[in-house]
A and B are shown apart, each in its own frame.
Chain A
Amino acid sequence: MEKSKIKAFTPFIVFALLVVFLVIGLHHSKPQVPKFAQHIGDTAPVTDLPILNGNGARFTTASWHGRPYMINFFASWCGDCKAEHEELMTLAASHLPMIGITFKDKADNVTSYLGRVGDPFIAVAQDDNGRAGIDWGLTGVPETFVVDAQGIIRWHHIGALTDDIARDELMPLWESLTQQ
């Protein structure tokens, strides 16, 4: 009698366990963790792009070997880029060498955008067809990378930078890279 009762309830117990696991899974999943690769610890891709209003000058990742730097993919048409711009200006004031890469944008639009909001970049390179972005594993704009003196990607942030992220993640990393 007892044994058959247990048997009859087994499917319900299994189902209840499944529900418990699913509920735990739902509450412990972290949607903020990017699912695409971030390449932290990988060598930065070889990028060679024309510099905005640079009269033929080019930005290459190779020419930055030996110095840490930051890359910020942005576009004049992107709302989140405008949202993080204040933060970029603050970072520029603390002498962080930032290279801006315009993602699928027009030179005229970028020039007037930076003229309007201020230019925090030491150089702005143009990724007109978005191919360099794909090489960096870009999923949209803005995205920010930190590359160390050895050419290794040390940080990758998807979305707008904020004061908190700059203070808690970016600046401590940057200080450790420049003290090496």
Chain B
Amino acid sequence: MIARLLLLLLFSLPAWAQETLPDPQQEARAVTLGEELRCVVCQSESINDSQADMARDMRLLVREKISQGWTDQQILTFARTRYGDFILLKPPLQSNTYLLWGLPLLFLGVAGVMIWPLFRKRKE
């Protein structure tokens, strides 16, 4: 009975189990990279999260490049030269994204300036 259950468990492993690299360190790199790359079909999901066929291809591609000795940076550059910055789920800090990265700080500053007088008043 237990053997049967174990067998059942073995066959119910998720699909990505077949894609994992034997080296746990390399596999960890593949998982991290997979979190950073956008699925080109679903667009709001990473290739790790997406069930799209092309996301699976990308996961396989990442693992293939890792086992060929590519660095993480080389793999990200590979994806970026083909799909552009949009393939990266975390937008890079560059001239056209300064506003994007800076706005939260700006809002925080404005809110601080607005709230500051209230605190001062309370103390008085």
- Residues of A participating in the B interface, judged by any CB pair closer than 8 Å: 7, 10-11, 14, 35-37, 104, 129-131, 134-140
User: B85 contacts which chain A residues (CB < 8 A)?
Assistant: 37
B61 and A131 form a contact (CB under 8 A): yes
Interface residues of B in 71-97 (CB under 8 A from A): 82-87
Task: Please report the C-alpha to C-alpha distance between residue A36 and residue B37 in the assembled complex, in whole angstroms.
Answer: 12
Q: How many residues of B contact A (CB 8 A)?
A: 17
Which residues of chain B from 40 to 96 have any CB-CB distance to chain A below 8 Å in the complex? 40-41, 43, 53-54, 57-58, 61, 82-87
Tell me if B108 is interfacial: C-beta within 8 Å of chain A. no
* Contact yes or no, B57 A37, CB < 8 A: no
The 4 closest A-B pairs by CB, nearest first: A37-B84, A139-B40, A35-B86, A137-B82
Known contacts A10-B114, A131-B61; is-contact A37 B82 (Cβ 8 Å): yes
Q: Which among A7, A35, A37, A140 is the interface contact of B54 at CB below 8 angstroms?
A: A140
B-side contacts of A138, CB under 8 Å: 40
**Structural contact, A134 and B41, CB atoms closer than 8 A:** no
